[in-house]
Structure 1
Amino acid sequence: MGMLKLEARHLLAAAGAAVMISAPASAATLEVHIGSFKNGGTIPSKYAFCVPAAEGHTTGGANINPRISWSKGPRGTKSYAIIVYDNKAPAEHREMMNKEGVTMTADIKRHNFYHWVLVDIPPNVTSIKEGADSNARVVHGKPATPSAAGVKGLNDYTKVMAANDATKGQYYGYDGPCPPWNDDVVHAYHFAVYALSASSLDLPKDFDGPAAEDAMKGKILAQGETVGLYTQNPTKGAKASK
């Protein structure tokens, strides 16, 4: 995906337009680090839900969560939350996704797609190990089993898989990138971490990204993010696995 480097500056500027949860002006900044790529870098395929393929354009990926770490929150931090989202997911014309002879252009309306929702992370935890939350792509989704740290929420594969009996289910925790292979837009994945003034957001079992964001309002002491780029479109530099 060498072409991504040529577009990274432009894409990061556009990604910056995606608004993180509103926080007070006094909110501090967390330094967020991903073990396998830098801010604006390409997300390695082993962290993806789907990867480019020579036949059929796409196939299932290893779907391992990357290692994520962050700087210690300010005084009063009682928990952390991780929200990973793609702010360039198609919000319309989904019938065009992965369709032969069709290109999804940049003018198609976009919205957030949530890939990882983890809240109530204890204040003494400032990293999640690679593979600790996801080490495989699981048909029908991973259950809400206890996390290595924190409480898992539903990601948006729960919604997009709902109409397919072969894949529908509740997808908890991390599930990585799977942008349409015919999308002309390189997708930007925001790995955002929040330091919160509450030890628990007291969310129900089936909470999702928007519910977590709503519960965090008024509780954010600090926040930060790293953005990774990913595409399955060969015209944007994607290369099929051998």
Structure 2
Amino acid sequence: MKFTVLIPVLAAAAFNSQAFTLTSNDIQEGSRMADTFAFQGFGCTGENLSPQLSWKDAPKSTKSFAITAYDPDAPTGSGWWHWVALDIPSSTNSVKQGASGHLKQVREMENDYGAIGFGGACPPKGHGMHRYQFTVWALPSEKLALPENPSNALIGYMLNANALDKATLTATYVSE
């Protein structure tokens, strides 16, 4: 008898659960990003603006968020980190276009160009299409525990080890 009562309760819980999602007014899943979001330098002539991002349905126990932008197709053997923003307050559910460098109470880390904040898309000419994975991470603490001057690989490891959930939007870019 307990079994028949339990099934509807579990089914209702699964039916009502919402997935943590990430959307953008500026970039779309699987589509080429505009030059607005390309790097200015390294042979690229973009505007180097971070895209608008919005997220919803984070786990209830979320205490902070992080945003990363990562290119797994970079010819480095380890990808390329375009943006790492940490300790975003849990009351935040979006960032505006060009927000990098203007985010209050947020710790923006050095990208793989060697600058703090967002560094736009810039695959090597002739290298073909690259994917840019924009991920928002829901975290269980207000600050991610990291040593002084951590590498982006260590940050990525700590995000994966600590995340309650994550939502990713993958856009593309080709240098012409």
**TM range, smaller chain:** 0.7 to 0.9
Question: Any idea what the Cα deviations from partners look like across 1:15-66, whole Å, max 9, x if unmatched?
Answer: xxxxxxxxxxxxx842111211210111110111048xxxxxx443211111
RMSD: 2.2
User: CA separation of 1:31/1:211 partners in 2, compared to 1, >3 Å: closer, same or farther?
Assistant: same
1:114 matched residue in structure 2: 81
Contact 1:153 1:208 in 2 (8 A): no
User: CA separation of 1:147/1:211 partners in 2, compared to 1, >3 Å: closer, same or farther?
Assistant: farther
Structure 2 unmatched ranges of 5 or more: 1-17
Question: Any idea what the Cα deviations from partners look like across 1:171-220, whole Å, max 9, x if unmatched?
Answer: 1110101111121x300000011101111113345334212222234421
Shift of 1:132: 1.5
Q: 1:87 aligns with which of 72, 97, 103?
A: 72
Where does 1:16-31 land on structure 2 (aligned, <5 Å)?
A: 29-31=19-21
Identity in percent: 30
1:154 matched residue in structure 2: 110
Structure 1 unmatched ranges of 5 or more: 1-27, 52-57, 92-109, 135-145, 159-170, 234-242
Q: 2:136 aligns with which of 186, 190, 193?
A: 193
Please state if 1:42 is matched with 2:32. yes
Contact 1:132 1:148 in 2 (8 A): no
Contact 1:133 1:148 in 2 (8 A): no
Higher relative contact order (CA 8 A, sep 6+): 1
- The two structures have a TM-score, normalised by structure 2, of 0.81
User: CA separation of 1:125/1:208 partners in 2, compared to 1, >3 Å: closer, same or farther?
Assistant: farther
Contact 2:64 2:88 in 1 (8 A): yes
Q: Which amino acid is 1:153 matched to?
A: M
2:154 matched residue in structure 1: 211
What is the number of equivalent residue pairs in this alignment?
159
Q: Which amino acid is 2:116 matched to?
A: Y
Alignment partners' CA distance in 2, 1:35 and 1:149:
24
